Chain A
Amino acid sequence: MVVLRTSVIAFIVFTVMLGIIYPLAMTGIAQVAFPHEANGSIVIRDGKAVGSSLIGQPFSDPKYFWSRPSATTPFPYNAASSSGSNLGQNNPDLSKAIGERVSALRAVDPGNVEPIPFDLITSSGSGLDPHISPSAALYQVKRVARSRGVPEKDVYALLQSHTEERQLGLLGEARVNVLMLNLALDSRVQR
């Protein structure tokens, strides 16, 4: 019986300490030290929130760089319901989806016969991947420039400045944040 009583008391004390005080204290520190990050890395343009630099958005207009396909429901890049496709490699649905994505990219960009980087035609684990690989962005430069009627080199230069290298020169993979790139396109290379 003593053990049972101790269990209840210890549990209550630990719940207050680890379930209330610890997360609230961490929230306090985070809000003071890193308010931008702690609140979701929200991107502000003209005083308005236009998204988060960590959460991708869907694009299908040829004048924008496209993000990776997203498996979230009921619409792509639904940040309130993250999900991967969970399709196995040998599931016919996966090869069918990949085939359709290849066709869609080819259809808006006739004449581009470059091989398509694989990340651009596969859905991410979260369905919210904010990035594409630099080669997936490069593949789209011609199309974006043509759709906007601007010189390729302008779009290319913007892409260069939005390419993040491996962190600390070593960790992870090089990548391009699609939302940030498209925001920059609209503000600087508008047509």
Chain B
Amino acid sequence: MTSNGLLQIGLYLIVLAVLIKPLGHYMALVYEGRSNWFTALLAPLERLLYRIFGVRSEDEMSWKTYTFAVLAFNAVGAVFLYLLQRLQHLLPLNPQGFAAVSADSSFNTAISFITNTNWQGYGGESTMSYLTQMAGLGVQNFLSAATGMAVLVALIRGFIRHNATTIGNFWVDTTRSILYILLPLSVIFTIVLVSQGVVQNLKPYQTTPLMQGTTAVEQPSGKTTPVNEQSIPGGPAASQIAIKQLGTNGGGFFNVNSAYPYENPTPLANFLELLAILLIPAALCYTFGKMIGDTRQGWALLITMFIIFVPLLLLCYYSEMVDIPAIKTLAASIDYGGNMEGKEVRFGVANSTLWAAATTAASNGSVNAMHDSFSPLGGMVPLFLLQLGEIIFGGVGSGLYGMIILALVTVFVAGLMVGRTPEYLGKKIEAFEMKMVSLSILIPSVVILLGIGVAVVVKAGVAGIANPGAHGFSEILYAFTSCANNNGSAFAGLSVNTPFYNLILGFAMLIGRFSVIVPVLAIAGSLAGKKLVPAGSGTLPTHTPLFIVFLIGIIIIVAALTHLPSLSLGPIAEHLQAIK
């Protein structure tokens, strides 16, 4: 690890920490419907939207209606995105004349983008028309993020309200998330990113000559043809990259995502895109504290996230800097400054590992380096962050409601120890809540483990593996963990654009998303109906260092019990083999 590398990581964490309070405060104002910086500008537009939707903003929904609205809205989005891909060859803004996307890939991508996963089985610059990118994928970047934020706000209302039958209005929460938070930030980020060299145009790909010709080798025939030109892509990339980073979507405009120079051209662009990954998920912790009237509760969860994040990040950085055992024989010929396979020179190892940790802690899933080429332990860090369930910052909204779920487990376990009904934020946590909590933790885990089990025994699953040995297993492990937790990053060697993987991973993403959202909304509804219990002498305070330590323990135990066996077959086995 270099001192400059650590300095860059430190600077990143400080800038992030400084922005949490102002943005978190602003978001609380937005969700409470109070006047804020943008009210004068955007409130008329907000009212206009409600009028077109036929929604009255003061109408409230029960948790069941809210859930139905979430599901209906997402279903409409999925159908539209599927059709858009299937019909893109007939539609405008397709200068490269790309054909319709295959049925299984369209299904997978539609699910992937409505669930905020943005797993990509396709290569953007060789598959998707500009219209599909803009009006399909780009729109879902906003809508899936807003859905997550709306569900979080509904859950927060469950804690705030008492003896209530409603948890808010889904259309209002979604509209405000987009109009006041995601859209203004995206506009700012787009312009800054373009200034750094991210493309934003609607032109066909340009052909430019190569300075020195090269040779194309057709596989598998081995036939060679001389090549003297390069086809340089374009597209409305910056506007989409801004929201894919801010909304923890992570779906790249281009195949290699933020490693592509047009997606992430300079170190400054990289720094800002990195910031955008964790910005909203981190700030929402403050919003949460603000809205429940006790900011210490938000800080406690945020500190928990940082305490888990930083050591894992440093382990990843360290693991990418140590010598590679496999190339020991060449050591005399090589000036080794860290593992640069799959990494870009302008970012170097520090920024590549910082990105890898941030993108998998949050459920972003964009990459600026190829995780498949990380060292076994360096690659285990992103994998383990996925296995924690996308709650260390996590997705916008989804990360914090996932973390609150684990806080409920924590007070429950604490309650069991002393034989008392657990409480969290003045609400009794009873059988119904704990059933819902269990479902939201168990179902995604079952999907991951069953999915891996199927993929490693059927031919179509094993056929996708790119690397031999334990690493090949890690590729499959990573794919299912990433999809069921709605992250979307990959050990990209695995060939996943096949009917088998497109379908099975599509279902994993769908179940992983909504098997958490529905129980969370059920908890919100149940809590809203309860009365507030004043904290007594037996109440476990949930803002203290003791609680933070307890919460960290629960997070690690839940993840480790589920995933340690598979980790030991993948990255741990590979690491031990390499150093033997």
Q: Do A and B bind each other?
A: yes
Chain A contact residues, CB within 8 Å of chain B: 2-11, 13-15, 18-20, 22-24, 26-27, 29-31, 33-34, 37-42, 49-52, 54-55, 57-61, 64, 68, 73-92, 94-95, 98-99, 102, 106, 114-119, 121-133, 135, 166-168, 170-173, 175, 179, 182-183, 186
Stretch with Cβ within 8 A of A (4 or more), from B279-287, B371-379, B532-540, B551-559: B371-379
Bound Cα distance A39, B197 (Å): 8
Stretch of B23-31, B158-166, B214-222, B521-529 contacting A (4+ beta carbons < 8 Å):
B214-222
Contact between A26 and B53, CB atoms less than 8 A apart: no
Are B232 and A82 in contact (CB-based, < 8 A)?
no
Q: Contact between B344 and A129 (Cβ–Cβ < 8 Å)?
A: yes
Given known contacts A18-B178, A19-B139, A89-B326, A40 and B199 CB-to-CB distance under 8 angstroms: yes
Whether B251 is near chain A, meaning CB under 8 Å from some CB there, is no
Closest beta carbon of chain A to B279's beta carbon, Å: 17
- Do A90 and B142 touch (CB < 8 A)? no
Q: Is B345 an interface residue (CB 8 A)?
A: yes
Q: CB of B201 within 8 A of chain A?
A: yes
B191, A29: Cβ atoms closer than 8 Å: yes
7 residue pairs from A and B, CB less than 8 Å apart = A15-B135, A49-B206, A59-B212, A88-B471, A95-B327, A98-B334, A173-B348
**B residues within 8 A CB of A90?**
325-326, 376, 469, 471, 574, 577-578
CB of A4 within 8 A of CB of B72, answer yes
Residue in contact with B72 in the complex, picked from A7, A39, A88, A92, CB distance below 8 Å: A7
B531: interface (CB < 8 Å):
no
Known: A11-B80, A31-B201, A126-B261. A80 touches B233 (CB 8 A): yes
CB contacts (< 8 Å) of B351 on chain A: these are 172-173
- The reply to whether A27 and B233 contact each other, CB–CB distance below 8 Å, is no
Shortest Cβ distance from residue A35 to the other chain B in the assembled complex, whole angstroms = 9
17 additional A-B pairs beyond A18-B143, A102-B333, beta carbons within 8 Å, are: A6-B53, A7-B75, A11-B143, A18-B183, A40-B232, A49-B208, A51-B211, A58-B214, A89-B326, A94-B326, A98-B334, A115-B332, A118-B339, A124-B345, A125-B367, A133-B345, A172-B351
List residues of chain B with CB within 8 A of the CB of A95: 326-327, 329-330
**Stretch of B262-270, B380-388, B399-407, B505-513 that contacts chain A:** B262-270
A22 near B238 with CB under 8 A, answer no
A182–B196 CA distance with the chains assembled, in angstroms: 23
Q: How many residues of B contact A (CB 8 A)?
A: 129
User: Which chain B residues lie closer than 8 Å to A7 at the CB level?
Assistant: 69, 72-73, 75-76
Cross-interface CB contact of A74 among B218, B255, B370, B492, cutoff 8 Å:
B218
A180 to chain B, nearest CB (A): 11
What CA separation (Å) do A68 and B91 show in the bound complex?
39
Question: Please, which residues of chain B bring their CB within 8 A of the CB of A39?
Answer: 199, 201, 203, 234
Within 8 A of A (CB), among B165-215: 171, 174-175, 178, 183, 186-187, 190-191, 194-203, 205-206, 208-212, 214-215
Q: How far is the CB of A84 from chain B (nearest CB, A)?
A: 4
Report the minimum CB–CB distance from B108 to chain A (whole Å).
19
Cα A82 to Cα B124 in complex, Å, equals 9
Other-chain contact of A54, B72, B261, B375, B466 (Cβ < 8 Å): B261
Are A23's CB and B268's CB within 8 A?
no
Q: How far is the CB of A50 from chain B (nearest CB, A)?
A: 6
Determine if B341 and A131 form an interchain contact, defined as CB atoms under 8 angstroms apart.
Answer: no
For the complex, what is the distance from the CA of A22 to the CA of B134, rounded to whole Å? 9
The answer on a CB contact under 8 Å between A168 and B268 is yes
Contact across chains for A42 and B260 when beta carbons are under 8 A apart: no
A122 touches B344 (CB 8 A): no
Indicate whether A125 sits within 8 Å of B214 (C-beta atoms), given known contacts A118-B340, A173-B347: no
Q: Are B256 and A89 in contact (CB under 8 A)?
A: no
Contact mask for chain B residues 238-262; partner A; CB cutoff 8 A; 1 contact, 0 none: 1110000000000000111001111
- Do the beta carbons of A64 and B126 come within 8 Å of each other? no
A27 near B236 with CB under 8 A, answer yes
Contact B123 A81 (CB under 8 A): yes
Pair B373/A172 contact, Cβ less than 8 Å: no
Q: Quick one: given A7-B76, A74-B218, are A34 and B341 in contact (CB under 8 Å)?
A: no
Q: Which of B129-170 contact A (CB under 8 A)?
A: 134-136, 138-139, 142-143
Complex contacts, A115 vs chain B, CB 8 Å: 332-335
A133 to B346, CA, bound (A): 8
